[in-house]
Structure 1
Amino acid sequence: MKSPEIQYKIIRPDSELSAFVESFWMLKNVSDKAHEIVVLPDGRFDIIFSYSGNEEHDIVLRGLDTMPAQNSIPPRTVMFAVSFKLLAIEYLLDIKAASVLNEGALLPADFWDISKNDLDDFEAFCKKVSAKMITQIKPDIDGRKQKLFELIYASNGALPVKELSEKVYWSSRQINRYFKEQFGISLKAYCNILRFKASLQHIKEGKLYPEEDFADQNHFIKEIKKFSGVVPKELFKNQNDRFILLSTLPVK
């Protein structure tokens, strides 16, 4: 990231959690000023542990985002978070994320036995919550769901619903009912978000034309604007590092 006042770090999960956890991340605003950001849809939901200054910590479950959202990181803020893949909703946390679509919900202050002191050491935090999550994984995961998510993530949402249905031997109607009930959106809508997220890496590299499965340039621009609020050229400029997801992508 360009802004020295914003510090960011990411850690990938161990193999035992890789089907459920996309990453652990840390974000700090070390300055005395709020940092204005735009939160972009990324196909994940998060549990965020945070505090600002001398305040007590908060724990928030953040649902899937389907649109860009203006926000700000308060001064002297520390955030440690777990970003989840969708399979975790049912088989690790046992919640329905549909109720927090584009929203957040406050969790108990003692959730997973994490205290404010645990937010001093990011690596130790990751180990502690990893150990906790491993004990929470439910047995007997539906093989259709596991295969479905493997295909969705591997293709960055590019495979049509019909093809996904045929590959996992699960009807499109049943898949969409499952998505609506659990996550609040259709499978196609979710795949569109993943395709947008995959495009961010190309945009960061200055490739302002379709690299993923878009019909044409106009379709590409329309989808990028739908999920970011701006056209690809404006997203690429990323003035003041306000598009936080784009800022944290690695430079290739």
Structure 2
Amino acid sequence: MQQRAKYLELLPEEELRPLIKCFWISVNDSGADCHFTTLPDGCPELIVTYRDGMLHNVMLAGILTEAYELLMPGNELKLGIRLMPIGKEYYLNRCPTLERFGAFTTSLSGDMVRDLRLFSNHVTADIRSIVPVESIDKRKLILFELLQQTSGNIHVEILAEHCCWSSRQINRYFNMQMGMPLKSYSNILKCYASYKEIKAGRLNPDLGYYDQSHFIREIRKHTGTTPKMLLKNEAQRYLQFNSPENSDDR
């Protein structure tokens, strides 16, 4: 039987949820390599990696547009921050160096819950020292709140009306800040929202797709496979189709 890494998520405090989707930790203590596929979810990630108990690297992963194959070697531990795009803009882009996140993990205990909470507490305090609430553009807060609420199923004209920002300005912002058009980002959110439906065995589109063919085509575009294959999730290959353990809310 193929070995699986242990995985745990922790939600941020309420005030940080426009910036952070969740904190997470993954541990492969089996001694054998684990292979995964991660799928687009509309979030950049900051990842701190330890191998054999030693800090290996700190890296920033951008927003995926298609499936990405992952190898997690034996005796590896990862701590991560799954960011909302506005979190990268207002937090990470203001950090002088990403190496600071390695310093937030120097007292790992081997207890996943304790280590994840300690990491999230360090990051939370760091965000509060770097990102004054008043510094965040309210138009962007409204923009991403609406995109999340609708899973990308919203016209740019409606976004512009609610954000008091022109359609042209919104599209320019997405191209400059995230390297993709608003439409592409919205399609990723729509695809991500479908994962929950697929996991429940509901393979008929009800998320803004024109028909079954359009649904299958878009899922294949972003995941590299069909909804039926995602539902099967052979060998627990697809990370988003594996149910993570969740630490208790704060």
TM-score by length of 2: 0.88
Is 2:192 the partner of 1:197? yes
SS in 2 for 1:25: strand
Once residues 121 and 83 of structure 2 are traced to their aligned partners in structure 1, the CA distance between those partners, rounded to angstroms, is 16
* 1:16–1:32 Cα change, 3 Å: same
Structure 2 residue ranges without an equivalent (≥5): 246-250
What is the alpha-carbon distance in structure 2 between the residues aligned to residue 221 and residue 4 of structure 1?
30
Aligned residues: percent identity?
33
Question: SS state of the match for residue 7, structure 2?
Answer: strand
Give how far 1:141 is off.
2.0
Aligned to 1:114: 104
* Cα displacement (A) at 1:72: 1.1
Q: Contact 1:49/1:59 (CA < 8 Å) preserved in 2?
A: yes
Secondary structure of the residue aligned to 1:202 is: helix
Change (3 A) 1:54 1:145: closer
Secondary structure of 2:144's aligned partner: helix
Q: Which amino acid aligns with 2:20?
A: V
Q: Please tell me whether the aligned partners of residues 23 and 116 of structure 2 are also in contact (alpha carbons under 8 angstroms).
A: no
CA deviation after TM superposition for structure 1 residue 53, in Å: 1.6
1:165 aligns with 2:157: no
- Aligned CA RMSD, in angstroms, stands at 2.0
Q: Partner residue of 2:118?
A: 124
Q: Is the contact made by 1:57 and 1:116 (CA closer than 8 Å) also made in structure 2?
A: no
Deviations 1:45-102 (A, max 9, x none): 111111122443311111111111112111111111111111112222236xxxxxxx
**Match for residue 77 of structure 1?**
76
5+ residue gaps, structure 1: 96-106
CA distance in 2, matches of 1:111, 1:169: 36
TM normalised by structure 1 equals 0.88
Q: Which moved more, 1:133-142 or 1:68-77?
A: 133-142
Any idea what SS the aligned residue of 1:10 has? strand
SS at the partner of 2:91?
helix
In the TM superposition, structure 1's runs of 4+ consecutive aligned residues that sit over 4 Å from their partners are none
Report the Cα offset of residue 6 of structure 1: 1.7
Give the one of 113, 137, 154 matched to 1:142: 137
For the residues of structure 2 that align with 1:59 and 1:10, how far apart are their CA atoms? 19
Shift of 1:249: 6.0
* 73-82 or 46-55, larger mean C-alpha shift: 46-55
Between Structure 1 and Structure 2, how many residues are aligned? 238
2 CA distance for matches of 1:54 and 1:21? 27
Residue equivalent to 1:11: 10
